[in-house]
Structure 1
Amino acid sequence: MIERLKAMLVKEFIQVLRDPRMRFVMFVIPVVQTLIFGYAVNTDVREVATAVYDLDNSSQSREIADLFVKSGYFRLEARVYDDKAAQELIDRGEVKAVLRMNRGLGERLVGGRGAQLQMILDGTDSNTAGIALNYASRIVGGYNQRLQQDWGARHGGVQAFPGGVDLVSRAWFNENLESRNYYVPAVITNIVFIITMLLSSMAVVREKEIGTIEQVIVTPIGKGEFILGKTIPFVLIGFINVTLISLVAVFWFDVPLRGSIPLLYLATALFLMSSLGIGLLISTISRTQQQAMMSAFFVIFPAILLSGFAFPIESMPQIVQWFTLVNPMRFFLVIIRAIFQKGVGVDILWPQMAALLLIGVTILSSAVLRFKKTLG
């Protein structure tokens, strides 16, 4: 019995380890993923992209703006001078918050009267918005404490400061900061990516395993036609998934769909070019369905992690943020959340759509070039 067990173990180890690509998948990729996960998994929110809208331009308003920037929690991305510019920055996703200070703020504080400043937040990401609001409250609280100390020093400590700064917050697009409005649309991205990539990753390698690839080789069909024939069914499956999940999101979870439905399907088509291209590329490289399945899963988890689905990309180290630029999920998440919650159009989302088109064409072309109508 022991000898039979030993022989079985030796045979299985030889079977698994004889392929260099399988050894790479089993031993090298997990190490790489561990390094990525260690840097990227970070729920802390720092350096929130912020615009300053200072209508007062007093020493007090400038001091408050400096406190926000120097805190490390907010990063000054731009200074705006009208409401339209502030709205465009939030619509485009270039800033997550706008710090607005109205005229007369400094004068009221000098006179010992209360003053208000407004923090306008992009509520599509309820987690980031809520944390940023807490940071802002702490900064304003510290500033009020300093005002109290300065006022007491000037008046011999016998009088309390009658005024102070009152922070008024306003969340756009997701007024109640409900997390489901942020995460449920993103589920569309995850499900479509996983299903279409897994299915397409089996497309070519299955032909190799069952022996029908020889029949394909002797036919006059071209490589591009063969790849196209393999992808069209999965494209239809992807559109069906988007439709079903969107219906569930809107009618079951009451997630608002404020944008254009045709734009949603157009963006989905661009995204499917990437997800199916990755799957087909894996399928052309792999020799067995087991290899293709394992390789697909090793792509799926880093793609989801580095997409901004759960962890803000802005909180990741700079080198990890560069890796996210080749991740199609990152761009489709921005598009689908903007369509659902902001209702914006192509004039705002064209950079993300152009990125999806570029990534999709590159990956699909690589898959077509990699596929060879030979048995070698």
Structure 2
Amino acid sequence: MNRARSSIRHLVNIYRLGVKELWSLWRDPMMLVLIVWVFTGSVYTAATAMPETLHNVPIAIIDEDDSALSQRIVSAFYPPQFIAPRLVSMTEADRGMDAGLYTFSLHLPQGLQRDVLAGRAPQLQLNVDATRMSQAFTGSGNVQQIVLAEVGEFVQRQRVGTAAPVELAVRARFNPALEKSWFGSLNQIINQITLLSIILTGAALLREREHGTIEHLLVMPVTPTEIMLSKIWAMGLVVLAAAALSLNLVVRAMLQVPVQGSLPLFFTGAALCLFATTSMGIFLATLARNMAQFGMLLVLTIMPLQMLSGGTTPRESMPEMVQTIMLAAPTTHFVEIGQAILYRGAGIDVVWQPFLWMALIGAVLFALSLARFRKTIAQMA
């Protein structure tokens, strides 16, 4: 009976301390602005302004051949990747490039179709404005692929008897139109869940230390475990709610990105990841003396977690040592869960191993953070 009463008292303390954390967050306007921006504007810009994505790229074409082949090439550049091509003269193209009106100018020489059908190799000139770095780097390869594809198809139709010995049929699964916004938006939500959970829990602990309210907690009949759990459930609830609203309102409604799998299963995985990352945030806050030091620790922590977890670059492309080390990070398994569920519609039979790994990593991080938190409180007492 006494044990039951003690358990209920612990739960009540955790609940009330968590409510206190929510009220403290509500009175912090900068944190509220950060939460709103992270799950709205940041997600939208990551989906629509990815550096490697071509969108409304201006291109000028000098068509001196005026043949069926040159017209095919001109018509191959269309929105949304390219603005409708401007047919200009060589002088106008040079002036437009100098004025920054065009990122690309493509010169189709006279006799292009005749030389191609005769088996000769005519030279096409592509001028690139390299000051527009992202468009220039990605777009030059795209322009080359488009031109070569149109020339190859034109020649094959003209020479009926010379069919290619092998025909490759490419089918893109899970993203048939190869829309990069689908990947960018969902991956940004996964990254922001990690980022915000560490910031909120760490800032909550440092805010109490700076305001002196941590001393008030020390004289109250509460334990360090209750204080930690209250911060974890309160900040985790805020992040989960914000992520759910962002996924449904920004990603699915505004960006029209389809979600393949079960959202309850995904947010269950997110809750496990939050248990680990919020514990990590408390651990970092115990190492820092103020918010400035905490911010520096965040830079050293967040960047590797996001860049090496497999969300930006596939883990298979990383060195084997990096892959092995990052298995100890909860974000690696959360990215695997998020991509499997949201992109490919995977069920629990596919992602149970990452779930198990996140639970184990979360338990270890919680134990380490609790030990460090108790040591910090003992030094303050």
Where on the TM-score scale, by shorter chain, does this alignment land: which range?
Answer: 0.5 to 0.7
Residue 203 of structure 2 corresponds to which residue in structure 1?
202
- Cα distance, 1:341 vs structure 2: 2.1
Residue 243 of structure 1 corresponds to which residue in structure 2?
244
Taking the aligned partners of 1:246 and 1:285, their CA distance within structure 2 comes to 33
- Cα distance, 1:226 vs structure 2: 0.9
Counterpart contact for 1:183–1:309, Cα < 8 Å = no
Taking the aligned partners of 1:216 and 1:267, their CA distance within structure 2 comes to 32
Residue 313 of structure 1 corresponds to which residue in structure 2?
315
Residue 228 of structure 1 corresponds to which residue in structure 2?
229
Residue 167 of structure 1 corresponds to which residue in structure 2?
168
- Cα distance, 1:279 vs structure 2: 0.3
3-state SS in 2 of match to 1:167: coil
3-state SS in 1 of match to 2:257: coil
In the alignment, does 2:344 pair up with 1:342? yes
1:107-151 superposed Cα distances (whole Å, 9 cap, x missing partner): xxxxxxxxxxxxxxxxxxxxxxxx9xx9xxx9xxxxxxxxxxxxx
- The structure carrying a bigger strand percent of its residues is 1
- Cα distance, 1:299 vs structure 2: 0.7
3-state SS in 1 of match to 2:177: coil
Query: Equivalent pairs: percent with the same residue?
Result: 31
Q: What are the equivalent positions in structure 2 for 1:102-251 lying under 5 Å apart?
A: 164-247=165-248, 248-251=250-253
- Cα distance, 1:161 vs structure 2: 8.0
1:292-350 superposed Cα distances (whole Å, 9 cap, x missing partner): 22212221111111122222221111112222212222221222222222111100011
Q: What are the equivalent positions in structure 2 for 1:87-98 lying under 5 Å apart?
A: none
Taking the aligned partners of 1:237 and 1:306, their CA distance within structure 2 comes to 26
3-state SS in 2 of match to 1:199: helix
1:1-48 superposed Cα distances (whole Å, 9 cap, x missing partner): xxxxxxxxxxxxxxxxxxxxxxxxxxxxxxxxxxxxxxxxxx9xxxxx
1:224-275 superposed Cα distances (whole Å, 9 cap, x missing partner): 1010122222011111121122111111111111211211221111110121
How has the CA–CA distance of structure 1 residues 255 and 163 changed in structure 2, closer, same or farther, with 3 Å as cutoff?
closer
Runs of 4+ in 1 over 4 A off after TM superposition: 160-163
Counterpart contact for 2:232–2:275, Cα < 8 Å = no
- Cα distance, 1:211 vs structure 2: 2.3
Taking the aligned partners of 1:297 and 1:356, their CA distance within structure 2 comes to 22
**What code does the residue aligned with 2:239 have?**
G
Residue 375 of structure 1 corresponds to which residue in structure 2?
380
Uncovered stretches (5+) of structure 2, i.e. residues with no partner: 1-51, 53-137, 146-160
**What code does the residue aligned with 2:245 have?**
L
Of residues 365, 368, 372, the one that matches 1:366 is: 368
Taking the aligned partners of 1:241 and 1:361, their CA distance within structure 2 comes to 24
How has the CA–CA distance of structure 1 residues 163 and 183 changed in structure 2, closer, same or farther, with 3 Å as cutoff?
closer
Q: What is the TM-score with the length of structure 2 in the denominator?
A: 0.54
**What code does the residue aligned with 1:229 have?**
S
In the alignment, does 2:306 pair up with 1:304? yes
1:198-231 superposed Cα distances (whole Å, 9 cap, x missing partner): 1111222333222222222222211110101222
**What code does the residue aligned with 2:169 have?**
V
Residue 157 of structure 1 corresponds to which residue in structure 2?
none
Residue 47 of structure 1 corresponds to which residue in structure 2?
none
Residue 291 of structure 2 corresponds to which residue in structure 1?
289
Counterpart contact for 1:205–1:283, Cα < 8 Å = yes
Taking the aligned partners of 1:345 and 1:254, their CA distance within structure 2 comes to 23
**What code does the residue aligned with 1:304 have?**
Q
**What code does the residue aligned with 1:223 have?**
P
CA-based RMSD of the aligned residues comes to 2.4
Residue 128 of structure 2 corresponds to which residue in structure 1?
none
Counterpart contact for 1:217–1:374, Cα < 8 Å = no
In the alignment, does 2:329 pair up with 1:324? no
Of residues 253, 257, 260, the one that matches 1:258 is: 260
Residue 71 of structure 1 corresponds to which residue in structure 2?
none
Taking the aligned partners of 2:282 and 2:315, their CA distance within structure 1 comes to 28
Taking the aligned partners of 1:179 and 1:308, their CA distance within structure 2 comes to 16
Taking the aligned partners of 1:327 and 1:245, their CA distance within structure 2 comes to 25
Q: What are the equivalent positions in structure 2 for 1:66-77 lying under 5 Å apart?
A: none
- Cα distance, 1:162 vs structure 2: 6.6
Taking the aligned partners of 2:181 and 2:164, their CA distance within structure 1 comes to 38
Counterpart contact for 2:306–2:331, Cα < 8 Å = yes
Taking the aligned partners of 1:269 and 1:359, their CA distance within structure 2 comes to 13
